[in-house]
Amino acid sequence: MTAASISDYRALARARLPHFLFEYLDGGSYDEVTLARNAADLQAVALRQRVLRDVSAIDTSTELFGQRWSLPVGLGPVGLSGLYARRGEVQAAKAAAAAGVPFTLSTLSACPIAEVARAAPLWFQLYIVKDRDFTRDMVAQAKAAGCGALMLTVDLAVPGTRYRDYRSGLSGGLRGKHTQFRQALMRPGWAWDVGVHGRPHTFGNIAPLVGAGAVLKDLMGWVAKNFDASVTWKDVEWVRSQWDGPLVIKGILDPDDAREAAATGADGIVVSNHGGRQLDGVASTARALPRVAEAADGRLKLLVDGGVRSGLDVVRMLALGADFVLLGRAWGYALAGGGQAGVAHVLRLIEAEMRVTMALTGVTSVAGIDESVIDR
């Protein structure tokens, strides 16, 4: 198959990845109601078509945290993405840098901060674990690597129950300890590219806590034991005291939490429900975003993720109040289906689709995308 859209890359990812990895990338929590809502509610936002306006010169660039980006789009953190292709996070970071957009490395990555930073600039996504010395060291490593922003994810006090991961054998071991190995053998292309040539197979950032590859035996079980459910806004202030660059708090859905984030000295927030992977049944990010934007009242930069599958969706999110949009599954599918070239292709698709959407809604700059392009 020649991929022409993000949905095509999803099909390629399904065909190439071992079953447990595809299910981890593709799935959500419980009955996946919120997962479905993220895409459906965003696609339901009707755009207002305008005509006879001069749209001969369209500028898709924008500024965020003191830097000019070619698109109002970044690659958000995606766990285990280093296993989707050989040294996958490095490949994705290179594609993002070439396209002039930011790449965010997950704490739960296969490639460590230093390895990815040698290949391309990056942001770092941080979880606070019970071992505060380890968390402090992660912040120090991000600083030493010159990370452009620190993205503190706060919506994982406890892990959501992800039935697909139990069924596939990634969490809980319901199908036996050899399940992952058998599934890998059924994908010889992946086994050769990643299994053989993608070594070392470690969780680079958390290897000191878990050892080489140990977390794959029961990923969410490990998360439940090591992530700290006692984290409060005081801990956000603690992180702020150690990090003097842009601090972004990821996982905000409630307007009151947006106000709290502004009070801690954060520079931005990500309106996010963790891709529908945590509390099933909560609002989609498209529905939550306008309320959060009103509460933030310009005091914070508003980033958003959830259900974005096209450049049209990017424009919709900007019109709903976002300053910047993060891709998640979209680039994960592309990495699994086509490596660095796939990620680069998806970013070109996003740009091309944005340009068409902007032209047909009568706007020529990112700053011009607001609620006026929505057909109420």
Angle at 292 between CA 138 and CA 283, to 5 degrees: 90
Which residue in 351, 343, 331 sits closest to 76, CA to CA? Answer: 331
For residue 305, say whether it is annotated as part of any ligand binding site: yes
For residue 277, say whether it is annotated as part of any ligand binding site: yes
For residue 342, say whether it is annotated as part of any ligand binding site: no
For residue 250, say whether it is annotated as part of any ligand binding site: yes
Residue among 178, 197, 274, 345 flagged as catalytic: 274
Residue 198 backbone dihedrals phi, psi, to 5 degrees: -95, 10
For residue 136, say whether it is annotated as part of any ligand binding site: no
CB 322 within 8 A of CB 271: yes
CB 328 within 8 A of CB 350: no
Instruction: Give the DSSP per-residue string, 188-205.
Output: HHHIIIIIITS---S-TT
90: how many CB neighbours lie within 10 A of its CB? 24
For residue 78, say whether it is annotated as part of any ligand binding site: yes
H/E stretch holding 93 reads: helix 88-99
Q: What is residue 280's three-state secondary structure?
A: coil
For residue 183, say whether it is annotated as part of any ligand binding site: no
Sole residue written with tokens 């709290």: 260
For residues 276 and 29, what is the distance between their CA atoms, to the nearest angstrom?
6
Return the amino acid letter for 369: I
For residue 132, say whether it is annotated as part of any ligand binding site: no
For residue 127, say whether it is annotated as part of any ligand binding site: yes
Q: What is the DSSP letter of 169?
A: T
Q: What is residue 67's three-state secondary structure?
A: strand
For residue 9, say whether it is annotated as part of any ligand binding site: no
Please state whether beta strands 301-304 and 324-327 pair in parallel, antiparallel, or not at all (unpaired): parallel
For residues 282 and 253, what is the distance between their CA atoms, to the nearest angstrom?
9
CB 25 within 8 A of CB 35: no
CB 283 within 8 A of CB 37: yes
For residue 77, say whether it is annotated as part of any ligand binding site: yes
For residue 274, say whether it is annotated as part of any ligand binding site: yes
CB 151 within 8 A of CB 248: yes
For residues 96 and 235, what is the distance between their CA atoms, to the nearest angstrom?
31
Which residue in 94, 145, 150 sits closest to 125, CA to CA? Answer: 150
Active site includes 178? no
For residue 368, say whether it is annotated as part of any ligand binding site: no
For residue 24, say whether it is annotated as part of any ligand binding site: yes
For residue 125, say whether it is annotated as part of any ligand binding site: yes
User: 246 preceded by cis ω (within 30°)?
Assistant: no
Binding residue ranges for FMN: 77-79, 106, 125, 153, 250, 272, 305-309, 328-329
Binding residue ranges for glyoxylate: 24, 127, 162, 274, 277
Catalytic residues: 274
Binding residue ranges: 24, 77-79, 106, 125, 127, 153, 162, 250, 272, 274, 277, 305-309, 328-329
